[in-house]
Each structure stands twice: as structure tokens, then as C-alpha cells.
Amino acid sequence: MTDSAPDWFYPEWASTAPGSRAILVLDTDSALGRYSLEPKAVGLKDLARIHGHLCDGLVISFVEIKAVFEQLFPSGVVDRTDLRAVSKNGPCWLDAVAFMTGARINFQTLRVDNAVGDGFIIQKVSTGETYAVHLKAGVFPEPQAARERQMRIARAQGQPVSAADIEAVEEMANALSRRLLNARAEDVLDVHRLQGYRFVPNDFFGERGDVINKDMPR
């Protein structure tokens, strides 16, 4: 089982929340291998470890993708060899969807398209069954969105931001993460099936947005 215990980068409120429970995934045994005989567990802490930190974008992605998996894989075991996905160009979103689904740009199973917004389109390749998922309107707090916009504009203009500004946004993000990890999916997410969806791969390169404040003062 995945390690879900608290750690310096993974607080107790995340480790004990019902929404952070691990998913079971099925892969192959080797580079030229067959399906594994047993699934493995992948949890939110694993995702935070490979992404670099726990944040609200990662939590949003985790709960959204899990909700689609419940539709595509009612048995509870996710086949990571049988998925395609569409995500916006954001570090949290792309790391989460690549890790959880196995989709990759270079294998033409991951499309980057900012039109999808703060959600995902996920398709089961073998059947074509496709779902879109987003937060319900009003779930993401507007005061938080406004503070984040202000910070990104300032940094884009080469202006510094204060430790207090960064910490205020982090507190808002943690509050949202707590809410999402303790809420019922149907109360915070819109999940709907897309009929006849055609996946179109793309070639895309972008810049990271989660490192712009790494040298700002504490």
C-alpha cells in the first residue's frame, strides 16, 4: 500500500481525509511485459512527492480524475495502459493526469489544450467512453482567484511579491484542499459523459508556472 502517513510535505489533514484515499492501477510487468497479476496503489502523497509539493491544483486534479475513474472503471482497478486525456498547460494538472492515467504527450495519448480549463477530458481507448470533469461553479473561491491573478501579473511584470502575499494565498489554497478532500464528489464536481468524442493529439511545449516565486523572501 502507498505510504499515506503525514510528512513534512504532506500534512495530517491530507493524510486522514477520505478524498485522499489511494487508487488501484494496473500496468505491465516490464518494458516488453504482460499485464501485472496484481494492481498497485497510487495515492495523493505519491503524487505530491513526484510533483514537488501538495497544493490545491494537485488536490483538484486528484479528486477530479478519481471521479472519472469511478465511471470508467467501476471494478475499482484503473488500467493505465488504456487511457487518453486532455489537460490544460499547468504543472499540477499535467503531472497529476500523466501520473494517474499513464497518458503521455510523446505517445500521443495526452493532449494539452487550455480550452479544457481547470478540469480534464479522459477517454478509455478500448471503448471510446469519454468523460469531462470540472469543479462546480462557485467551488473555487473568487477571493483566492483574484489574489492569484494579482500575484501572477506582478511576477510577469518583474515585480516582487511579499512573503505575506505568498503565505496568504497558500492558506487559501490549503483551505480549499481541505474542503475538496472532505467533500462528496457530487457536491463539488460536475462529471458528464461526452458522446462521440474524438481525441486529437498535439505537439506542445510550455513554461512552468510553479517556480516563479522560488526566490521570493520568507
3-state secondary structure the chain: CCCCCCECCECHHHHCCHHHCCEEEECECCCCCCECCCCEEECHHHHHHHHCCCCHHHHHHHHHHHHHHHHHCCCCEEECCCEEEEECCCHHHHHHHHHHHCCCHHHCCEEECHHHCCEEEEEECCCCCEEEEEECCCCCCHHHHHHHHHHHHHHHCCCCCCHHHHHHHHHHHHHHHHHHHHCCHHHHEEEEECCCCCCCCCCCCCCCCCCCCCCCCC
Report which residue type is found at 142. E
Q: What pLDDT does residue 212 have? A: 73
Domain ranges of the chain: 12-193
Rounded distance, CA 23 to CA 68, Å? 12
pLDDT at 153 over 80: yes
pLDDT at 93 over 60: yes
List, for residues 161-201, the tens digit of each pLDDT value. 999 999 999 999 999 999 999 999 999 999 999 999 999 99
C-alpha cell at 108: 500521443
The percent of residues in the chain predicted with pLDDT above 90, rounded, is 86
CATH of 12-193, one of 3.30.1490.20, 3.40.50.150, 3.30.930.10, 3.30.1330.130: 3.30.1330.130
Q: What pLDDT does residue 121 have? A: 98
Q: What pLDDT does residue 164 have? A: 96
List, for residues 29-38, the tens digit of each pLDDT value. 888 889 999 9
Q: What is the pTM of this model?
A: 0.93
pLDDT at 206 over 60: no
Q: What pLDDT does residue 150 have? A: 96
List, for residues 123-145, the tens digit of each pLDDT value. 999 999 999 999 999 999 999 99
Rounded distance, CA 40 to CA 124, Å? 19
C-alpha cell at 151: 500575484
pLDDT at 42 over 80: yes
| Mean pLDDT in residue range 35-42 | 94
Report which residue type is found at 84. R
Give 96's pLDDT tier (boundaries 50, 70, 90): very high
The percent of residues in the chain predicted with pLDDT above 70, rounded, is 95
